[in-house]
Amino acid sequence: MSNAKATLSKTLGFLSVVRDTESSRIGGLLLINASSRPLEFHCTAPVKPNRAQEILYGPTLDEYLCGEQIGHALHAEIKVGLDLLLTDVPEMLVLRHLIPQPLILVGGESKESDADASETLPQLVHTQRNAVAMATRFEYEQDLARAGELLDSLGTSLDLLEPFTRIHEAIQEAQGGIRKQPAA
């Protein structure tokens, strides 16, 4: 396979979570090729923790819901080969223990919620790529190098934040369509 074909065959995954209500979360996974065209899209039904989970998981509830429940379920739906998985949700990084692909947190400036999350999230290793902050769990530091090599092979035209907008809009559209359907 030529280098151009090998580059085009690379698949990037973008994994995010949208809060549907105060405690309900919906996950979305968009797989794209090197041209940023969609290959697959999956989303979950709303996931709402019960009171027992809230009590028992305590400050690790978001990691459990986002990574182990939502992220793991979406990852299991992938039908094409995946080379790199990116997320904009820090709590999703717990998923890395369950999957073979590199998992990278991407995003801009830290949010207020990141301060709360830093109390429960593990030590992260950070880097920067084209003005986009990237991080991963300390024990998977090599993922940053692997991600850098893959992204370098794709060129600099790929916007690492834009696919998350598509995920959020697709989830909102799907939820709007569900709500507009008449009850049977």
Cβ contact 143:102 at 8 Å: yes
pLDDT tens for the 184 residues of the chain, in order = 455 555 568 999 999 999 877 789 999 999 999 889 999 999 999 999 999 999 999 999 999 999 999 999 999 999 999 999 999 999 999 999 999 999 999 985 443 344 444 454 568 999 988 888 999 999 999 999 999 999 988 876 789 999 999 999 999 888 876 544 444 4
Q: In what order do the strands lie in the sheet with 124-129?
A: 38-43, 25-32, 12-19, 84-87, 103-107, 132-137, 124-129
Per-domain residue ranges of the chain: 3-174
Fold of 3-174: archaeoglobus fulgidus dsm 4304 fold (3.30.2170)
